[in-house]
């Protein structure tokens, strides 16, 4: 009886399901093909990423995280896919721009993984790669870059102290014999009515008329060119450009509101001037660089004038609205 009950229990149990084959899949792998050769400053370059993933998976790059002060990802697109043995191989083309001269490292690009069985927030990363970025201007034949020398030289401290002592003595004698009542200068205060652009143009004209370039003093001449530009940016846009490094100033130029081509030309001129001052680059045509600075000043001035016009129009519109409401502007 007990044996019959046991047999009946075994017969009533559900049959075991047949073994299922393991689903095709595996990790997502990426293979990156960097761009060929060198790229120009702010020029678009592209590279390819080949992804091998399970069927039903999708990838999307985090372009915002890859964009920084050196690079900006502008576009990505799938160039096709093929499947085999439960795996899919898809090729992506990524376009980007570089904004820093020299050899820079494009960062690892994060790809968000989605698909059946993929954990939430899954990410795979493509490998970083090095890229050499060339300046937008072309160094002409005959221009040579030599070893870099420091920008500082000997300072005559003894002479400076002697002059300071003489100045202090002169001031003491003046205060003693004048009683401190007679003003040192009797002229009325002078006010410069010129605009920052007019002052910059006059400085540039005086620099272009001096014999520095003709006498081969390129370091002094290009120091003057950059000083004209920096002082103008100080006065027009309150940027403290004269206190910034070339790299910092290049990043801050976007505050002027000028067009991108103007910003790139300004960066190129500043970079070339640094090569002349510190790397003894011999420029082929200083007059052309002087003309380029004249154009830059005009373009920055146009941006400033446009900003002032927009501000005045907005204030006038606000005043008109206040007048119509019976309020005060």
Convert the pLDDT of each residue in 281-326 to its tens digit: 999 899 999 999 999 999 999 999 999 999 999 899 888 888 888 7
* Structure confidence at residue 179 (pLDDT): 59
pTM tops 0.75, yes or no: no
* Structure confidence at residue 1 (pLDDT): 43
* Structure confidence at residue 143 (pLDDT): 58
Please determine, for residue 329, whether its predicted confidence score (pLDDT) is greater than 80: no
* Structure confidence at residue 6 (pLDDT): 41
* Structure confidence at residue 287 (pLDDT): 92
Which pLDDT band holds residue 108 (cuts at 50, 70, 90)? confident
Which pLDDT band holds residue 8 (cuts at 50, 70, 90)? very low
Which pLDDT band holds residue 224 (cuts at 50, 70, 90)? very high
* Structure confidence at residue 250 (pLDDT): 86
Mean pLDDT of the chain: 80
Report all structural domains of the chain as residue ranges with CATH numbers, in order of start.
29-134 (2.60.40.10), 157-180+193-324 (no CATH)
* Structure confidence at residue 230 (pLDDT): 92
* Structure confidence at residue 292 (pLDDT): 93
* Structure confidence at residue 20 (pLDDT): 32
HEC per residue, the chain? CHHHHHHHHHHHCCCCCCCCCCCCCCCCEEEEECCCCCEECCCEEEEEEEEEEECCCEEEECHHHHCCCCEEEEEEEEEEEEEECCEEEEEEEEEEEECCCEEEEECCCEEEEECCCCCCCCEEECCCEEEEEECCCCCCCCCCCCCCCCCCCCCCHHHHHHHHHHHHHHHHHHHHHHCCCCCCCCCCCCCCCCCHHHHHHHHHHHHHHCCCCCCCCHHHHHHHHHHHHHHHHHHHHCCCHHHCCHHHHHHHHHHHCCCHHHHHHHHHHHHHHHHHHHCCCCCCCHHHHHHHHHHHHHHHHHHHHHHHHHHHHHHHHHHHHHHHCCCCC
Average pLDDT over residues 110-138: 82
Please determine, for residue 185, whether its predicted confidence score (pLDDT) is greater than 60: no
């Amino acid at each position: 009886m007990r044996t019959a009950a046991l047999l009946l229990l075994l017969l009533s149990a559900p049959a075991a399901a047949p073994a299922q084959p393991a689903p095709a899949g595996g990790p997502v792998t990426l293979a990156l093909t960097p761009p060929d050769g060198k790229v120009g400053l702010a020029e678009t370059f592209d590279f390819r990423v080949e992804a091998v993933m399970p069927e039903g998976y999708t990838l999307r790059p985090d372009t915002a995280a890859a964009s920084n002060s050196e690079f900006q990802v502008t576009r990505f697109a799938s160039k096709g896919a093929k499947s085999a043995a439960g795996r899919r191989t898809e090729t992506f083309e990524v376009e980007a721009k570089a904004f820093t001269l020299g050899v820079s490292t494009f960062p690892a690009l994060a790809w968000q993984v989605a698909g059946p069985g993929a954990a939430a927030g899954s990410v795979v990363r493509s490998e970083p790669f090095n890229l050499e970025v060339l300046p937008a201007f072309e160094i002409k034949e005959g221009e040579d870059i030599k070893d870099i020398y420091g920008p500082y030289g000997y300072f005559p401290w003894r002479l400076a102290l002697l002059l300071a002592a003489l100045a202090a003595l002169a001031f003491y004698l003046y205060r003693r014999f004048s009683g401190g009542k007679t003003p040192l200068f009797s002229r009325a205060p002078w006010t410069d009515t010129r605009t920052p652009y007019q002052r910059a143009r006059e400085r540039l004209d005086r620099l272009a008329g001096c014999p520095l370039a003709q006498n081969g003093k390129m370091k002094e001449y290009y120091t003057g060119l950059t000083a004209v530009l920096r002082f103008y940016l100080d006065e027009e846009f309150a940027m403290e450009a004269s206190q910034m490094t070339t790299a910092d100033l290049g990043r801050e130029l976007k505050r002027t509101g000028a067009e991108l081509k103007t910003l790139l030309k300004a960066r190129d001129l500043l970079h070339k001037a640094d090569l002349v001052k510190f790397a003894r680059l011999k420029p082929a045509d200083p007059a052309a660089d002087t003309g380029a600075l004249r154009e830059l000043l005009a373009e920055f001035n146009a941006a400033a004038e446009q900003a002032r016009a927009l501000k005045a129009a907005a204030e006038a519109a606000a005043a008109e609205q206040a007048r119509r409401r019976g309020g005060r502007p």
